[in-house]
Structure 1
Amino acid sequence: MVISNKPQIELVQFDKYDIPGLIELSRSVGWDYDENEIGTVLSSGTIFGHKNAEGNIVSSAAIIPYDTFLASIGMVIVNKDFRGMGLGKEATRKCIESVSKETVIMLISTEEGKRLYEKMGFNTVDFVHKYLCDNYITNTKARPLNNSEIIIEEFNGVDIDELLTIDGDAFGDKRSRFLMNRIKQSENCLVAKDMNGAIVGYGLSILGPINLILGPIVAPDYQTALVLIDKLSSEHRGKLRIDVPSGNKELMMLLENSGFVNVSQPPIMVINSDKMPSRNDTLFGIAAQVFG
Structure 2
Amino acid sequence: MDFVAYGQKLVSIGHLIVDPAYQGKGLGKRLMLHYLSEAEKRGSAVTLVSTKSGFPLYTSLGFQTVGYAHRFQHDVPSENSQQERTSVDGDMVPLHEAALSEVIELDRVAAGVPRERMLHSVDHYKISGWAVRDSFGAIQGYGFARAKGDILVVGPLVSADADMAIRLLKPLMAGWRGRVQLDVPGVQASFQERLRGLGFRETSVSPQMLRGASSLPGRRELLFALADPAFG
Verify same fold: TM over 0.5.
Answer: yes
**Counterpart pick for 1:126 among 63, 67, 79:** 67
Counterparts of 1:159 and 1:111, CA distance in 2:
38
Partner of 1:259: 199
Query: Which range moves more in the overlay, 85-94 or 153-162?
Result: 153-162
The equivalences for 1:1-40 within 5 A come to none
Aligned equivalent of 1:190, options 101, 123, 130: 130
- How big is the shift at 1:107? 0.3
1:211-290 map, 5 Å: 211-290=151-230
Answer yes or no: is 1:115 the counterpart of 2:56.
yes
Identity of aligned residues (%): 28
Larger RCO, structures 1/2 (Cα 8 Å, 6+ apart): 2
Gaps of 5+ in 1: 1-60
* Structure 2 gap segments, 5+ residues each: none
Equivalence for 1:45: none
Partner of 1:230, secondary structure, is: helix
Q: What secondary structure is seen at the aligned counterpart in 1 of 2:224?
A: strand
Give secondary structure in 2 for the equivalent of 1:200: strand
Higher mean C-alpha deviation, range 92-101 or range 216-225: 92-101
Alignment correspondent of 1:103: 44
**Partners of 1:68 and 1:174 within 8 A in 2:** no
Give the letter aligned to residue 164 of structure 1. I
Equivalences for residues 59-208 of structure 1 within 5 A = 61-99=1-39, 100-135=41-76, 151-208=91-148
Q: How many angstroms apart in 2 are the aligned matches of 1:275 and 1:251?
A: 22
Q: Which has the higher helix share?
A: 2
Alignment root-mean-square deviation, CA: 2.2
Secondary structure of the residue that 2:17 maps to in structure 1?
strand
Tell me: CA distance 1:285–1:124, structure 2 relative to 1, closer, same or farther (3 Å).
same
The answer (yes or no) to whether the contact 1:72–1:290 under 8 Å persists in 2 is no
Show CA shifts across 1:8-37 (max 9, x none). Answer: xxxxxxxxxxxxxxxxxxxxxxxxxxxxxx
CA distance in 1, matches of 2:34, 2:105: 30
Residue 179 of structure 1 and its aligned partner are, at CA, apart by 1.0
State the distance in 1 between where 2:180 and 2:198 align.
11
2:56 alignment partner, SS class: helix
Would the aligned equivalents of 1:153 and 1:192 in 2 still touch at CA under 8 Å?
yes
| TM-score, length-scaled by structure 2 | 0.90
- The SS at the match of 1:161 is helix
Report the residue type matching 1:195 in the other structure: S
Distance in 1 of aligned mates of 2:52 and 2:182 = 19
Structure 1 residue 172 displacement after superposition: 2.1
Matched pairs, number: 226
SS in 2 for 1:187: strand
Q: CA deviation at 1:232?
A: 0.8
